[in-house]
Structure 1
Amino acid sequence: MTIELRSVTDDNFVEWREAVRHGFGQQVHPDDIARLRNDRAELDRLVAAVDTGSERIVGTGGADSYSLAVPGGATVPMAGVAYMTTSVTHRRQGAFSNMMTQIHDAARDRGDIISGLWASQSHLYSRFDYGLAVNSYDWEIDPSFGAFTHSPISPDDESDAHVYFVDADEAAAMLPGIYEQMHHDTAGSVDRNAGRWRYELFDDERVRGGASALFFAICEEGGEQTGYVAYRMRRLGDSDMGTLEIVEQVSVTDTAHATMWRFLLNFDLVGKITAINRPADDPLWWMLSDPRRLNRISHDALWIRLLDIPKALEARTYNANGRLKVGLVSESQPAVAGTYVLDIDDSQASVKKTTDKPDVVMTPADLSAIYLGGVTPGPLVEAGRIDAITTGSLAKLHGMFTTDSAPWCAHYF
């Protein structure tokens, strides 16, 4: 039995998509295959692992093209790795590793500086030098405990911020502009093109899981749209204290954030509000009079791998100037092993390799973890993942890579 990597074309796309969903234990609706093909998938970025004996697809993988925001406001091209499966009948035969290698090589050839993914299994990707760069939270709160003791909007504030409902067609026109503002202001976020917005806002009854159709509301300040929420309602009857399920909530100002959450926590006939994938440093916790009532469950979100280490390090800004020599050790990427000198002046870095001894030593995975500022190096030193060799090197590493706010990736892919 031989496994061969092949391109995905329109001739085998249906089989490939069915294999992807089969790998996650799901059947796929024919309309969803067409929707993926039309609105999201890039055929030249997909790969199929084929059993040459049966000519069946037994492994799948690929990437979507994204722009990733990094600290300082720049964006860099990123390969959003997705669709990764291997059939249980063909495990541990090298298909997964070979597909990952092909995806990374192709991404590098296209000019991608970083690759990123949301991991279905968190133990899989460190061996490919991915680091967990973004954590997020899932929330649950009884809105009767939604009183604020603090808010960026003072009682004397004459802000005209207000919230109003829009229908699905209006939302499709308004949400992308607000999201784009957030994207450029938020490290760790990725862009959404028109096709991805159609894919995200698809709301056929079969994707609702028994809940309502999507509702949409917009926050507006001074004639500018500064926030939105998309949510569903789940209730048994008109008098049932139902659940308001927030699918996505984005704000680009503190006023919009406070206004939108005051709106959400004021609903009648709602016994529970849930929200998925909230930022690690979202201020709502600090605004509530009884923050313990906001139940928060942390989970890993975006994992990244630096495909071009010098370009990636030079793309972001830093909070401290100086020189630091970073040693990288890697079994999976021998070509990137070595010592890199970061010379940072006026928040910008120049990076080159050197034969000098390093100040700190780590794997590319751990460099990726601290890259966006969501993970500080101290715990990685304490965990034995980063070795601070020279005196003061940990403080210097922390000062350079720390950021004023946590990264957030609002878009799951």
Structure 2
Amino acid sequence: MTRTLPPEFTTVEGIPEDRYREWLNCWLTALAEPLGADPAVFEFYRRTFPAARGLAVTDAEGFAATNMSLDADLVLPGGATVPVAIGTAGSCHPTQTRRGLMTHLLERIYERAVEEGRAACADWPSEWPIYRRFGHGPAAWCDGMSIDLRRAGLREEVPGADLRLRRVTGGEARAAARTVFTNKYRSTPGELVPPEGFWERLATDPASPVLDALCTLGDPSGGARQCAVLDGRGFVSYRVAPGWTADKAPDGVLHVVDFLAADAEAAGALWRFLFAIDMVGEIRVPRLPVDDPLRWWVTDARWLRTHRRDALWLRLLDVPAVLSARTWAADGTLTVRVHDTRGWAAGTYHLEVDKGVGTCHRTTTEPDLELDVATLGSIVLGGTPASGYLRAGQIRAADPRHVWRWDAMATPERAPFLTYVL
């Protein structure tokens, strides 16, 4: 149940179109990223984050807090999907913090997700401690990477040597990226399908890096956007910031924005293309899977500088729906007790896996594992080992072999990964 707010506040569910810009500015200003005057940026937000899904708390001065949930499908190990709510647009004006406004809106997101039959909430929180308190846990990780081209090099056996990319722009680039993503996303647990409006950013003015910065959570530089496609199999977009050494040799930095590959040969062709671009000494990639094959395709991996960070957080609402829908790597049975201070996922659940197919239901038997809902969200896709939580004291088990069994059952063929943050 959502908490009752002080009388000076009013809850708004569904933002009026004539107040959408005001609501958007409240959100973005809290992130130190005010909207600005570029109509393409406003249109991107309006299409991708529709007013009808917005939530807010208002006071006498206007919008005091914002939030939103988007409908999406989450890819589980094995390729099946479950419906989830993407939580985004969370903000609170600094003058109204610590008054329960964000808690109020988050609780409404959970209520709405349950009402709409969503099995979980998925998001990428701006601040780790806040969402952990509400039962969210980091379920997938990614590596930001800086590549020194002159020292790393590509091995001759990298696949895709006979494939040639072609350049695309505008609407063709938008359609190409969407097609490749559609062809690849079910092969990777942790993926979320972006709203249709998300792809419109690839059809906008390529001289502006603002929309690309929104998707990479970084600075893609001010160079013109370039796009190249391997039809149906691969898509890459990037910007090059020119640079020169002290000896006036070219030393530009290539900032990758989109990197989509439906198979290993297509990925190899994309890397061959990027490594061969003239006047570039470094490639920066904001998000790569933690098990990306590039590490084994270069001649010297010490010149791949990586920074690991959380990529996807999950807050489970319907435990049996998620555990029954995913494919498991090994057979076995486990009973898991889940603690959830907000009640949505609390209970004891019996999981039985036969030939990789799981069935899960509530039970009253004693558990093999005991953990909170945030920890279950972290380990449910197999991207975060349960054994680490056991050593940290956040999973309790009478016999540690139960935890090892979970990891043997839960670890997927490919590491969970989320291509795009919303």
Per the normalisation by structure 2, the TM-score is: 0.90
Which residue of 1 is the match for residue 309 of structure 2?
A: 299
The gaps in structure 2 that reach 5 residues or longer are 1-5, 211-218
CA drift at 1:205: 3.7
Deviations 1:193-250 (A, max 9, x none): 4322114553464435752221111235xxxx31111000111589642111101111
- What residue identity is the alignment partner of 2:241? R
Distance 2:382 2:205 in 1: 35
The gaps in structure 1 that reach 5 residues or longer are none
User: Does residue 1:89 correspond to 2:95, yes or no?
Assistant: yes
Which residue of 2 is the match for residue 382 of structure 1?
A: 391
User: Does residue 1:197 correspond to 2:206, yes or no?
Assistant: no
Distance 2:252 2:418 in 1: 28
Which residue of 1 is the match for residue 47 of structure 2?
A: 39
CA contact (8 A) 2:44 2:200 kept: no
Write the mapping of 1:154-233 to structure 2, written as runs, cut at 5 A.
Answer: 160-199=162-201, 201-203=203-205, 205-208=207-210, 211-219=222-230, 225-233=232-240
Moved over 4 A (4+): 236-239
Which residue of 2 is the match for residue 65 of structure 1?
A: 71
Deviations 1:250-288 (A, max 9, x none): 111111111211221122211211111111110111221
Which residue of 2 is the match for residue 403 of structure 1?
A: 412
Write the mapping of 1:262-411 to structure 2, written as runs, cut at 5 A.
Answer: 262-331=272-341, 333-390=342-399, 392-411=401-420
- What residue identity is the alignment partner of 2:164? H
- What residue identity is the alignment partner of 1:235? P
CA contact (8 A) 2:317 2:344 kept: no
CA contact (8 A) 1:69 1:189 kept: yes
User: Does residue 1:16 correspond to 2:18, yes or no?
Assistant: no
Distance 1:121 1:201 in 2: 31
Q: Percent identity?
A: 27
CA contact (8 A) 2:48 2:195 kept: no
CA contact (8 A) 1:152 1:254 kept: no
Write the mapping of 1:114-129 to structure 2, written as runs, cut at 5 A.
Answer: 114-129=120-135
Distance 1:200 1:70 in 2: 28
Residue of 42, 49, 57 corresponding to 2:57: 49
CA contact (8 A) 1:117 1:303 kept: yes
C-alpha distance 388-152 of structure 1, shift in aligned 2 (>3 A)? farther
CA contact (8 A) 2:27 2:66 kept: yes
User: Does residue 1:144 correspond to 2:150, yes or no?
Assistant: yes
**Matched pairs, number:** 402
Distance 2:366 2:158 in 1: 48
Deviations 1:123-172 (A, max 9, x none): 1111111110111111111211242347453xxx9x74222222333212
CA drift at 1:116: 0.8
CA contact (8 A) 2:352 2:358 kept: yes
Deviations 1:88-145 (A, max 9, x none): 1001000011100001111121121121111111111111111101111111112112
CA drift at 1:80: 1.0
CA drift at 1:392: 2.5
- What residue identity is the alignment partner of 1:219? L
Which residue of 2 is the match for residue 241 of structure 1?
A: 251
Distance 2:304 2:261 in 1: 19
Deviations 1:260-318 (A, max 9, x none): 11221122211211111111110111221110000001111111111211111111111
Deviations 1:18-56 (A, max 9, x none): 1011111232134257414541123332111112xx141
Per the normalisation by structure 1, the TM-score is: 0.92
Please give the root-mean-square deviation of Cα atoms over the aligned residues, in Å: 2.1
CA contact (8 A) 1:115 1:305 kept: yes
Distance 2:86 2:203 in 1: 20
- What residue identity is the alignment partner of 1:249? F
Which residue of 2 is the match for residue 25 of structure 1?
A: 32
